[in-house]
């Protein structure tokens, strides 16, 4: 059985998009005393792929998952929510559910991917998750509970039914209370929110049996509207809310770990072809900031990021090049000692910095030493084989993919 002590309340959960910039940050962030755990929200296929320099087909999107996960996360456990690829489009070309295909691709590459599921996922998704539970008794799963679920009168019954459907005990489940993006008005009612949240935690079934427990929330704005050349600051309340929550141990029956969504809380939508604007996102324990430049269209191109870096580096909240690899890159942009990069690299720099901010903030809250601890003493269990043989589906060639894309246009 996967060790129940693997998920400590002093650890951190990062809920990330399956975007190159965010997942690359997992290879560069500077570890601290808290272990970092990751949950990927798998978006639908069709977004521009910076590695292939074109959008991926749904089949490619799923087939490349295992290799890319192994490259950025090794054989550490990663949770995967495949709800956005649970549709007819992503099932074409496969004989099994997309979730199963993703998890199996990870196994074939030596990575360890485990499913994340909520009360809203389809019956087919539940079946795929149950198959994982049956075939991999040594590995955990993640259960995501949203605010709307907690407010439902049938919540406890629904949660027990889900566990029964999956044939899974709470002792192998990592439970996440998933509040997603907080309303900006909550800053005026933090004490009330914390009091209600502590009550909801006390009412959770199997409270002390879950192998891991986290609260995920973010006050990063879901929609960012800035003018060119503007640097805008937003109050960051997610960390202060977490600090208030854990400050009264008498009212809190179990202490959760902190989780957030890096620097992107926008809803996951079907990919659209857009020309990006040069911008950088930034965080401190008390604020979020966004600095925006011009579009990367001609005549500026991707060099439009240079004035953005100049503006960010001039702010008092800029941590300086020694703080993180992302900050070092932003400073190099400011000094013109590196190339302009692209949207993926800008997201990487922002995410790398943000992970370091969270690690330092949690160390401060719990009075931990800033010295990093080893990632893992023991390697996690290997993922079991779902099938005796995985049916191979040929990946369309680049030319055929381009032809298909032209037809869609």
Write down the pLDDT at residue 227.
87
List, for residues 127-161, the tens digit of each pLDDT value: 999 999 999 999 999 999 998 999 899 999 999 99
Q: Which is more confident, 272 or 355?
A: 355
List, for residues 308-328, the tens digit of each pLDDT value: 999 999 999 999 999 999 999
Ordered alpha helix ranges (H), 236-342? 238-246, 305-313, 325-335
Q: Which is more confident, 310 or 369?
A: 310
Count Cα neighbours of 6 within 13 Å in the Cβ-side half-sphere. 26
What DSSP designation does 279 have?
E
Name the 3-class secondary structure at 108: helix
Q: Which is more confident, 340 or 299?
A: 340
Write down the pLDDT at residue 23.
94
List, for residues 37-69, the tens digit of each pLDDT value: 999 999 887 676 677 777 766 777 788 899 999
Alpha-carbon gap, residue 69 to 67, rounded angstroms: 5
Residue among 52, 287, 337 nearest 187 (CA): 287
393: confidence class by pLDDT, cuts 50, 70, 90 = very low
Which residues, in sequence order, are CB contacts of 175 under 8 Å at separation 6+?
142, 143, 145, 204, 210, 212, 213, 214
Q: Give, in order, the Cα–Cα distances in Å from 314 to each of 172, 241, 317.
A: 48, 29, 9
Q: What is the DSSP string of 163-174?
A: HHHHT--GGGEE
2: confidence class by pLDDT, cuts 50, 70, 90 = low
**Could you give the percent of the chain with pLDDT greater than 70?**
85
């Amino acid at each position: 059985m996967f060790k129940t002590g693997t998920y400590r309340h002093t650890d951190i959960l990062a809920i990330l998009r399956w975007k190159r910039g965010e997942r690359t940050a997992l290879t560069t962030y500077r570890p601290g005393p808290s272990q970092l755990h990751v949950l990927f929200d798998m978006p639908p296929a069709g977004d521009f792929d910076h590695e292939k320099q074109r959008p991926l087909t749904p089949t490619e999107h799923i087939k490349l998952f295992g290799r890319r996960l192994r490259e950025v996360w090794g054989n550490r456990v990663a949770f995967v929510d495949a709800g956005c690829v649970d549709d007819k489009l992503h099932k074409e070309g496969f004989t099994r559910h997309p979730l199963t295909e993703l998890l199996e691709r990870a196994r074939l590459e030596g990575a360890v991917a485990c499913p994340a599921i909520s009360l809203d996922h389809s019956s087919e998704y539940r079946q795929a998750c149950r198959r994982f539970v049956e075939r991999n008794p040594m590995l955990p799963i993640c259960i995501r509970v949203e605010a709307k679920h907690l407010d439902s009168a049938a919540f406890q019954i629904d949660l027990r039914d889900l566990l029964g459907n999956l044939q899974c005990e709470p002792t192998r489940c990592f439970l996440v209370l998933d509040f997603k993006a907080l309303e900006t008005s909550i800053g005026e009612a933090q004490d009330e929110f914390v009091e209600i949240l502590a009550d909801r935690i006390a009412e959770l079934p199997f409270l002390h049996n879950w192998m891991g427990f986290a609260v995920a929330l973010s006050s990063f704005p879901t929609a960012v509207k800035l003018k060119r050349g503007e640097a805008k600051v937003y109050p960051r309340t997610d960390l202060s809310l977490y600090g208030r929550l854990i400050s009264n141990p008498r009212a809190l029956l179990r202490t959760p770990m902190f989780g957030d969504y890096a620097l992107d809380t926008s809803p996951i939508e079907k990919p659209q072809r857009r020309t990006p604007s040069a911008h950088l996102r930034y965080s401190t324990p008390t604020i979020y900031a966004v600095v925006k430049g011009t579009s990367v269209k001609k005549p500026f191109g991707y060099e439009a990021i240079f004035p953005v870096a100049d503006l960010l580096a001039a702010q008092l909240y800029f941590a300086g090049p020694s703080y993180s690899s992302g900050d070092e890159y932003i400073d190099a942009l400011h000094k013109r000692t590196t190339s302009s990069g692209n949207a993926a690299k800008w997201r990487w720099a922002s995410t790398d910095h943000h992970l370091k901010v969270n690690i330092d903030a949690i160390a401060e809250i719990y009075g931990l030493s800033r010295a990093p601890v080893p990632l893992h003493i023991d390697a996690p269990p290997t993922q079991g084989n779902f099938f005796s043989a995985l049916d191979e589906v040929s990946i369309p060639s680049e030319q055929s993919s381009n032809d298909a894309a032209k037809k869609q246009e």
